[in-house]
Amino acid sequence: MRHGAGGSSTRVLVSGFEPFGGAAHNPSQDVARALDGTCLADGSVLHGVVLPVRFADASTALAAAIERTRPCLVLALGLATARSEVAIERVALNLCDAAIADNAGLQPRDMPVIEGGPAALFATLPVRAMLEALQAVGLPGTLSLSAGSYVCNEVFYRLLYAQGAEGIPAGFMHLPPIERMALNDQLRAVRMALDAALAEMSDDNNVTPGVLDIGRS
């Protein structure tokens, strides 16, 4: 049986980011917006939200979206400009070390995401099953061991740190630029990864959707 029992009452939250670093577009934003209000294969309703690329506000915005939608699963998306395939992240680091300033001009260097937190946290989605679903239909994808140390990683780490108490499965996927992978293929990849994640989760791992306090500590 699928996680959350499927059906229209099951909600899945997908977040993307606004453009940053002088770029005009961010495919993670486009994907989150395009998926908002659509349904997965089992009838689960997707909710999309676009986060600011600001260390001070991104996780707070995601926490508000989680409180509003109360999802059974959260998948955050971001842009990796150097990639040419979808990267399913396995690890979030307790490190903020920004090579460029965020959209508010903040550029933390060698700072923890959460003081005293674990050095690293692992995604709680079935990342291998998600990857295999993409590979089965020829979509380019890989498992990645680092989400970097920019706002993407900060959001990923805070999400995993908070969901430890609530048990809501959560993960992160980096998308390539549209020039390297068409937006329709990126949309298809995210939907297939989510379908695979929900199919992999049994009722033994099911939890009641809850509220995550992932705002800045």
Residue 130 within any structural domain of the chain: yes
Residue 209 confidence (pLDDT):
41
The pLDDT tens digits along the chain (217 residues) read 233 444 446 999 999 999 999 888 999 999 999 999 999 999 999 999 999 999 999 999 999 999 999 999 999 999 999 999 999 999 999 999 999 999 999 999 999 999 999 999 999 999 999 999 999 999 999 999 999 999 999 999 999 999 875 579 999 999 999 999 999 999 999 999 999 999 998 544 544 344 445 555 4
Residue 145 within any structural domain of the chain: yes
Write out the residue range of the structural domain in which residue 109 sits.
9-203
Q: In what order do the strands lie in the sheet with 141-144?
A: 45-51, 11-17, 73-79, 170-175, 86-89, 141-144
Residue 213 within any structural domain of the chain: no
Residue 147 confidence (pLDDT):
95
Per-residue pLDDT reduced to its tens digit, 163-208:
875 579 999 999 999 999 999 999 999 999 999 999 998 544 544 3
Which one, of 210, 88, 80, lies nearest residue 140 by Cα? Answer: 88
Total number of domains constituting the chain: 1
Flag whether the pTM goes above 0.85. Answer: yes
Active site residues: 89, 152, 174
Q: Can you spell out the DSSP letters for 23-79? A: -S--HHHHHHHHHTT-B-TTSPEEEEEEE-S-TTTHHHHHHHHHHHH--SEEEEEEE
Residue 202 confidence (pLDDT):
56
Residue 5 phi/psi, 5-degree rounding, is 70, 5
Q: How high is the mean pLDDT of the chain?
A: 90
Q: Which residues 6+ apart lie within 8 Å of 202 measured at CB? A: 1, 3
Residue 109 confidence (pLDDT):
97
DSSP helix/strand/coil, 189: helix
**Residue 49, domain CATH:** 3.40.630.20
Per-residue pLDDT reduced to its tens digit, 47-65:
999 999 999 999 999 999 9
DSSP helix/strand/coil, 152: helix
> Count of CB atoms within 10 A of residue 152's CB?
25
Residue 26 within any structural domain of the chain: yes
Residue 150 within any structural domain of the chain: yes
Q: Which residues 6+ apart lie within 8 Å of 56 measured at CB? A: 104, 106, 216
Q: Which residues 6+ apart lie within 8 Å of 115 measured at CB? A: 217
Residue 195 within any structural domain of the chain: yes
Residue 154 within any structural domain of the chain: yes
Tokens of 197: 């994640």
Which one, of 179, 189, 94, lies nearest residue 142 by Cα? Answer: 189
Residue 212 within any structural domain of the chain: no
